[in-house]
Structure 1
Amino acid sequence: MKPLTVPLLLLVLLAVAGLSRAQVQTSFLDWSRILPSLSRPANHSRIFYAVMFDAGSTGTRIHVYTFIQSDSGNSLPVLDNEMFHSIKPGLSAYADSPEMAGQTVRMLLKVAKKTVPRLVWKRTPLVLRATAGLRLLSAEKAHAILDQVQHVFDESPFLVPDNSVSIMNGTNEGILAWITVNFLTGHLKAQSKKTVGILDLGGGSTQITFLPKLRKTIESAPVADFVARFEFFNSTFELYTHSYLGHGLMAARLATLGALGAEGTWQVFKSSCLPKKFRDEWSFGGLTYRVSGDPDGYAGYKLCYQEVLKVVKGIIHQPYELEDSNVFYAFSYYFDRAVDAGLIDGVQGGMLEVRDFKKRAKEVCNKMTKYPPISPFLCMDMTYITCLLKDGFGFKESTVLQVRRCCTIKPVELGCFILSSIGLKCNVEMEGCTKAPQATNLYSLHAHPKIYYR
């Protein structure tokens, strides 16, 4: 799962404002177009709501946000509350029965109906953004699912803006995450000369985004869309960024098992990355596969690494520079598997060297027959993460990664920053996150990010 990997509220408000990418580059957000006229005489404020669907490869999440717009001097809204709920599997699991995808969204809309007062349903916007799960499907199947979602949206009592249902571009996903984390860590200040890189490992795709220090890193990028110029805080950033579709953790399992392109479910896919006596069914992307260890062969780290290396080698580009001075934050399945392997705290995360993933992968793989791990896939997953970092991106074993849940980055919560990045104040403790020490107020930010591709 990838909860709050990208600034969802930024997307909500841009979508509600009806701004295209070109308009975002030249226009300010017109709050008068999204604020309702619901008044509260007691404190001279107005409450309004926004509903965001995050359709990932392994699940669909709904976020119902409550805002307060004060009429007494403050021109920008404040996030007051968030209601969150999720359903598994992801919409891509219904590639052959798109009406079920619509039913999933319809079920989640019940959360919005219970949270948002009936009086303001007609002025509460709905937005859905899908990520790698739908990007992995054929255009025909993906559009069929989106059409079903759009139909559910249209028949709902809520406000449906233009372009309310779409698939998010993988590069934009990485860029928005980069902005979020670098602001949270104080690296987007004018006087700051250092930034942090972003590694995100989802179910269907993985992203890397960082600000190169050497011009050769930009010039040696394999194709133009590995580089994006980004204007923020009156500064221009030229980022190295790429999203590898099909190289998220779940998709990598499929490739390691040799099951890519397999349509029949009768075949048993074996791997040295699984316990020898393990045999079960595993589902991803709407298909169910029969998987097992190799009862007549060998299992362990070396054999597993050889299998995983075929998935990574020659496909993941190694940037010219990944200097030790570049700090990287790693999210999503990097965090989840590090927790499962006992490497970091399940709430606050922690600092890990790449060699820590390698060491624990060896331990899990070489002992999984005698001491079954918490998940039969833990050996495969930890080995894939190790291989992706070392032989994929080219990190040194000594490279230190900040492995975190997105929402626990200090000094303020991710949820607060999502709002702050567009000039909002935050005064709420987000679900599952550490409460921010104080509300954030960024009235000095006057323009939206501008993205250009080389």
Structure 2
Amino acid sequence: MKIPKLAFFFIFAVCLVVYLTYVKRHYDGTKSSVSDQRPQFSHDPHTHLTSVRVVSENFQYGIMFDAGSTGTRIHIFKFQVEPNEAPKLAQETFRALKPGLSAYADDPEKSKEGLMELLKVAKDTVPDTLWSSTPLMLRATAGLRLLPGEKANILLNEVREVFSESFFLYRPDSVSIMDGTDEGMSAWITVNFLIGGLHGSDTPTVGMLDLGGGSTQITFALQDEKTIQTSPIDYVTSFQMFNTSHALYSHSYLGLGLMSARLAVLGGIEAQPLEGPQELMSPCLAPDYSGQWEHGEVIYKLKGQKAGEPIYESCLRKVEKMIYKRVREAEEVKDVDFYAFSYYYDRAVDLGLIDENTGGTVKVKDYIEGAKKVCNNMSAGEIKENPFLCLDLTYVSVLLQELGFSPDKELKLARKINDVETSWALGATFHCIESIRKQGTC
């Protein structure tokens, strides 16, 4: 039977439509499949976001445990990462526990409970989809540096055991005792990162002074070639960030943190209890003072010494004798603006020189005059809540002058810059993330 031409064209048209429909559906399915396989740069559940917004919400987290001499603190940093730009700090989560890790030196197993409590804070803060790409680190400072024998290593192994089960990005060498110079450098990075001095702008960098419990640090960018040539080799360090090299003068004085220095001025020895009814007598305490002080898990009995001259002069000589030739003067500090932290800040608050919440600016001579006033008031029988304030202020004023600061030198005191804690933890975390990005390890 012969098919009419009209019917033939009708059948051909139907077949063509069916074929084209099949091809379109197959192409759409393939396109959708390919689209689903593209790398995801954001873990935001809102899938309708544009690609521009996805890029602007590409975040990197970093977790740093600060195992200090008086407590263990966790810093959880959230960085916003933009292509070809310096990362910006989007958020910080902070928690702290007492006592410090070194307090568990004789019973290291007990340290795990606090570590796990702080890790829970991290898991509640970082999205679980990012755990495996979030570096987890612990850096111990003077508290563990001062522990005898293998006690510090045993404690660090306990930390490694806890961290290995955390699901975060962790390597055994991510847990360590921080070198004093690294501590100073990291704090310097923190401050200058927050003020914008590392972002290739015209903002000059500033120096950093930190006075902890067991050690004290000074760090500033070197400008004078003479300083580089005349400084001990371990006082000069350098690193590169944002394609810029930085040469730093940085040193940590172990045993010259405020608590360790206080013990030395009082006549005690680190980690050595007194025998029997023995007492430490000092002219830096009120003449009628009698009490106890706990430091490094050791309780010391203290007594004021009846001095034949005003307390300030007697205490000053004790402090100067203790610190004699233990600190190196840095000539360049007179030309550099400095931020000062930790006990520098706390003792300025005690004197009423700055607001406890907002900080401020002081001169070195403010500490000197404050020490004289507090010590003289103790001579008159006035003892405030802190019986060590005379000793502490005298030590701070002497330390600053030994480092090369004149009485008229101004220092900026801050606990936070742009609402971010000014500890070394941010600098160390940021430096680690930069190293991972460039070298695959920190």
- Whether 1:143 and 2:135 are equivalent positions in the alignment is no
TM-score by length of 1: 0.74
Do the aligned partners of residues 394 and 152 (structure 1) sit closer, same or farther apart at CA in structure 2, a change above 3 Å counting?
same
- Whether 1:308 and 2:308 are equivalent positions in the alignment is no
Give the letter aligned to residue 181 of structure 2. T
Rg (Cα) greater in structure: 2
State the 1:310 CA deviation. Answer: 1.9
Task: Indicate the residue corresponding to 1:108 in structure 2.
Answer: 118
Do the aligned partners of residues 77 and 314 (structure 1) sit closer, same or farther apart at CA in structure 2, a change above 3 Å counting?
closer
- Whether 1:55 and 2:67 are equivalent positions in the alignment is yes
Give me the identity figure in percent: 46
State the 1:364 CA deviation. Answer: 0.8
Do the aligned partners of residues 94 and 336 (structure 1) sit closer, same or farther apart at CA in structure 2, a change above 3 Å counting?
same
State the 1:104 CA deviation. Answer: 2.8
Task: Indicate the residue corresponding to 2:9 in structure 1.
Answer: none
Q: How far apart in 2 are the matches of 1:116 and 1:285? A: 34
Contact 2:195 2:417 in 1 (8 A): no
Corresponding residue to 1:257 among 249, 266, 275: 266
- After superposition, the C-alpha distances for 1:340-364 in whole angstroms (9 at most, x for unaligned) are 1111111221111111110001111
Q: How far apart in 1 are the matches of 2:174 and 2:203? A: 38
Task: Indicate the residue corresponding to 2:412 in structure 1.
Answer: 402
Give the letter aligned to residue 274 of structure 1. L
State the 1:286 CA deviation. Answer: 2.8
Contact 1:272 1:299 in 2 (8 A): no
Do the aligned partners of residues 189 and 65 (structure 1) sit closer, same or farther apart at CA in structure 2, a change above 3 Å counting?
closer
Contact 1:276 1:299 in 2 (8 A): no
SS in 2 for 1:260: coil
Task: Indicate the residue corresponding to 1:429 in structure 2.
Answer: none
State the 1:257 CA deviation. Answer: 1.2
Cα root mean square deviation, aligned: 3.7
Task: Indicate the residue corresponding to 1:353 in structure 2.
Answer: 363
Q: How far apart in 1 are the matches of 2:227 and 2:80? A: 45
Task: Indicate the residue corresponding to 1:384 in structure 2.
Answer: 395
Contact 1:331 1:404 in 2 (8 A): yes
State the 1:204 CA deviation. Answer: 1.0
Give the letter aligned to residue 230 of structure 1. F
State which drifts further: 300-309 or 281-290.
Answer: 281-290
* Pairs within 5 Å for 1:10-409: 38=43, 40-42=45-47, 50-65=62-77, 81-115=91-125, 125-156=135-166, 158-188=168-198, 192=202, 194-221=204-231, 223-261=232-270, 263-265=272-274, 266=276, 267-294=278-305, 300-323=311-334, 325-369=335-379, 370-390=381-401, 392-405=402-415, 407-408=416-417
Q: How far apart in 2 are the matches of 1:36 and 1:125? A: 18
SS in 2 for 1:322: helix
Q: How far apart in 2 are the matches of 1:159 and 1:194? A: 35
Q: How far apart in 2 are the matches of 1:281 and 1:128? A: 33
Do the aligned partners of residues 252 and 224 (structure 1) sit closer, same or farther apart at CA in structure 2, a change above 3 Å counting?
same
Q: How far apart in 1 are the matches of 2:196 and 2:60? A: 30
Q: How far apart in 1 are the matches of 2:162 and 2:406? A: 48
State the 1:115 CA deviation. Answer: 4.3
Contact 1:184 1:417 in 2 (8 A): no
State the 1:213 CA deviation. Answer: 3.5
Contact 2:67 2:141 in 1 (8 A): yes
SS in 2 for 1:92: helix
- After superposition, the C-alpha distances for 1:293-337 in whole angstroms (9 at most, x for unaligned) are 2257766211111111122110101124332x3211111111111
Do the aligned partners of residues 124 and 329 (structure 1) sit closer, same or farther apart at CA in structure 2, a change above 3 Å counting?
closer
SS in 2 for 1:166: strand
Give the letter aligned to residue 400 of structure 1. E
State which drifts further: 300-309 or 75-84.
Answer: 75-84
SS in 2 for 1:280: strand
Unaligned runs of 5+ in 1: 1-34, 425-441
Task: Indicate the residue corresponding to 1:24 in structure 2.
Answer: none
Do the aligned partners of residues 299 and 43 (structure 1) sit closer, same or farther apart at CA in structure 2, a change above 3 Å counting?
farther
State the 1:65 CA deviation. Answer: 4.2
Do the aligned partners of residues 175 and 83 (structure 1) sit closer, same or farther apart at CA in structure 2, a change above 3 Å counting?
closer
- After superposition, the C-alpha distances for 1:28-54 in whole angstroms (9 at most, x for unaligned) are xxxxxxx99855134656777543211
Task: Indicate the residue corresponding to 1:22 in structure 2.
Answer: none
State the 1:173 CA deviation. Answer: 1.5
TM-score by length of 2: 0.76
SS in 1 for 2:69: coil
Do the aligned partners of residues 119 and 236 (structure 1) sit closer, same or farther apart at CA in structure 2, a change above 3 Å counting?
closer
Q: How far apart in 2 are the matches of 1:419 and 1:185? A: 16
SS in 2 for 1:93: helix
Contact 1:39 1:47 in 2 (8 A): no
State the 1:103 CA deviation. Answer: 3.2
Q: How far apart in 2 are the matches of 1:108 and 1:246? A: 28
State the 1:281 CA deviation. Answer: 2.4
Structure with the greater relative contact order (CA < 8 A, sep ≥ 6): 1 or 2? Answer: 1
Do the aligned partners of residues 305 and 118 (structure 1) sit closer, same or farther apart at CA in structure 2, a change above 3 Å counting?
same
Q: How far apart in 1 are the matches of 2:198 and 2:120? A: 39
Do the aligned partners of residues 268 and 103 (structure 1) sit closer, same or farther apart at CA in structure 2, a change above 3 Å counting?
farther
Q: How far apart in 2 are the matches of 1:140 and 1:117? A: 37
Do the aligned partners of residues 156 and 286 (structure 1) sit closer, same or farther apart at CA in structure 2, a change above 3 Å counting?
farther
